[in-house]
Amino acid sequence: MDPKDEIKQKLDILDLVSEYVVLKPSGSTGFKGLCPFHSEKSPSFHVSQDRQNWHCFGCNDGGDCFSFVMKMEGMTFPEALMHLGKKVGVEVRRLPTAETNTRSRMLQANDLAQKFYRKVLIESTKASLARSYVETRQIPFELAERFGIGYATDDWDTLSQFLLKQSFSEGELVQAGLSMRRKQGTGVIDRFRHRLMIPLRDHHGNTVGFTGRSMPGDEQGPKYMNSPETPVYSKSHLLFGLDLAKRPTRDAGFIVIVEGNLDVVASHKAGIENIVASSGTAFTQEQLELLKRYTSTIVFAFDSDAAGLKAAKKGMSLARALEFDIRAAILPEGVKDPDELVQTNPDLWKSLVEHSVPIMQFLIAHTTRGRDLKQIDDKRAVARELLPALGEMSSVVEREHWLQVVADLLQISADQLRPSISTSSTSTTSSTSTTSSTSATSLTKSEKARRLLLGYIVKTPDAFDTFRKRLEKAFQGEELWITLYKLAADTYDSGSQPAQKTYFSRIQDLISGHPQQASLFALLDTSMFMADETFQDLPPQKVLEHIDQLFCMLDEEFTSQKRVVLARELRQAEATGDSATISALMSQLNE
């Protein structure tokens, strides 16, 4: 069997989509949830378990499991095939392109390195210092295992030698960021030496690089050293811990953002798994877009003197533009990071995360601290710091709320303050999410009626013969509809073989390969989901009444269109004095 078909047979689209979207039952066999591809408040994203496909009425987009992961994970079709194949245990032969080859070699090398470092930490006699360091950091075995933590010994080239024996070339090891060329002579040496090794994994769980933490007492080199950028590791795209945070984030409805990778590890011990680290770098657009797939609420963690605030501000602006709800969890005074707090009071850290405050509340408290708001200079300074944040808020309600709070604080009226807020900068980046929700509702009545009729008949093929005449009439006029109806009718007429296939999937078979297959598939899909929506809760008698109304509506529309055409022809005939045509047209009009 073709791997594509085999994957489709083994995979349930409901399981797949549920990894990213909270779905609730809708009707007898359908599910719906908030669309992961556009921003919305009420769910217009539908999944059908019967048909194994999805459709969003907001972005008017839909498809099968492959199109879903392609869109969700930004993958090409071959990548989606590999990804889903791995999920359900279907072997997909690797594509022999140079690029995918390099990528997979880099991933293999990093994966082997991770296993090597891990084994060294657990077993090697040279790792006793590292083992006791892990112990003092209170990282239990299970936790170290979950994050794949290991140790690079103080030797020059143990990892390099190991990987060279596994048929990797020196060039590949350098390219993977694991080895460096010797400055003198030939050969390679290990990049990481005498460091605790924390694997950096992408959101699929592939090891793409490492953070090496220096050992206590070792002052050589930086405290944290990361892999260089490689074909598989990009600093600006990676969020540490996201591979483990996806499901917990969906369950909790928010994600916590901390600075250090070890803060993430420690938080897991406190039971907080919906957490990621930006690995000490400023937050990027790419990272936030990645997060947006899983949640719309982010909680930044700050120490109480907010040393990290400055770095986080750029990230906050980006997050506001992407319409995130931003909150803050504030560490108690004197505690420098979540890692430290977990060692002394894990429950407190948990409670701070659960009781996060709106970011503005935190910014106001932080900005006004130690300032005298009766003094004009202090007032001005506070305004200068807070107004840009107000300007970035895309929600008018939210902006007005905080504007009032700030105005009260500065003891001036909100009306006086409002003109100083510039709101122009936010509207550009988020425009895609606000304009896309109209496409499905902007369908004309007759376009909607045709979709419902087609959806109905595909769901209820037994009614085909009863309605055949009316259906033919309903789908006349437009080429794409004529084609789709004809395919549906042909499928029906060719009988219900093979028996294990539904009428719907037999129509799909006929469509595939058609020159207009993309448009036809899209039209069929929307029709099915619209029919689900409209008919699923109605008793059969009501459905039939509804169908009858749709036919009547289309009939009337055709009649009135025809009347317009006849009237125009009649006027032309009258102008030329063609009496025979006039009387023929008159009788047609009366009819």
Which positions lie near Zn ion, rule CB under 5 A?
Answer: 35, 37-38, 56, 58-59
Tell me which amino acid residue 71 is.
Answer: K
**Taking the C-alpha atoms of 250, 141, 131 and 116 in order, what is their torsion angle to the nearest 10 degrees?**
-80
Give Cβ neighbours of residue 332 (< 8 Å, ≥ 6 apart): 304, 341, 348
- One DSSP character per residue, 439-493 reads TTTTS-HHHHHHHHHHHHHHH-GGGHHHHHHHHHHHT-S-HHHHHHHHHHHHHHH
Least separation in angstroms between residue 57's CB and Zn ion is 8
Q: How far is the CB of 327 from Zn ion (least distance, A)?
A: 25
Q: Which is nearer to Zn ion, 37 or 402 (CB)?
A: 37
Residue number, 26 or 460, with CB nearest to Zn ion: 26
> Which residues are bridge partners to 152 per DSSP?
195
* CA 212 to each of CA 106, 177, 205, 226, 300: distance values in angstroms, whole numbers, following the listed order: 18, 12, 18, 6, 24
Strand intervals (E) in 84-193 = 150-152, 179-181, 188-190
Closest to Zn ion by CB, 37 vs 66, is: 37
Our CB check for Zn ion shows the closer of 35 and 353 to be 35
* Closest of 323, 552, 345, 358 to residue 434, by C-alpha: 323
CB of 68 to Zn ion, least distance (A): 12
CB 149 within 8 A of CB 200: no
Instruction: Return the number of the residue (56 or 353) whose C-beta is nearest Zn ion.
Output: 56
Helix (H, G, I), strand (E, B) or coil at 30: strand
Give bridge partners of residue 328 from the DSSP assignment: 300, 357
Nearest-CB residue for Zn ion: 35
E-state strands within 121-223: 150-152, 179-181, 188-190, 195-201, 207-214
Shortest Å distance, C-beta 64 to Zn ion: 16
Tokens 């990797």, residue? 168
Q: How far is the CB of 37 from Zn ion (least distance, A)?
A: 5
C-beta closer to Zn ion: residue 38 or 459: 38
The CA–CA distances, whole Å, from 517 to 64, 455, 480, 543 equal 14, 17, 10, 29
Q: What's the min distance (Å) between Cβ of 198 and Zn ion?
A: 37
Q: Tell me whether residue 432 or residue 494 sits nearer to Zn ion (CB atom).
A: 432
Closest CA to 65 of 104, 133, 109, 18: 18
Residue 202 beta carbon to Zn ion: minimum distance, rounded to whole angstroms: 25
Query: Do 357 and 325 touch, CB atoms closer than 8 A?
Result: no
In the complex with Zn ion, the residue whose CB is nearer, 38 or 118, is 38
Q: Which is nearer to Zn ion, 56 or 474 (CB)?
A: 56
CB of 572 to Zn ion, least distance (A): 47
Rounded to whole angstroms, how far apart are CA atoms 446 and 28?
27
State in angstroms the smallest separation of the CB of 527 from Zn ion.
Answer: 18
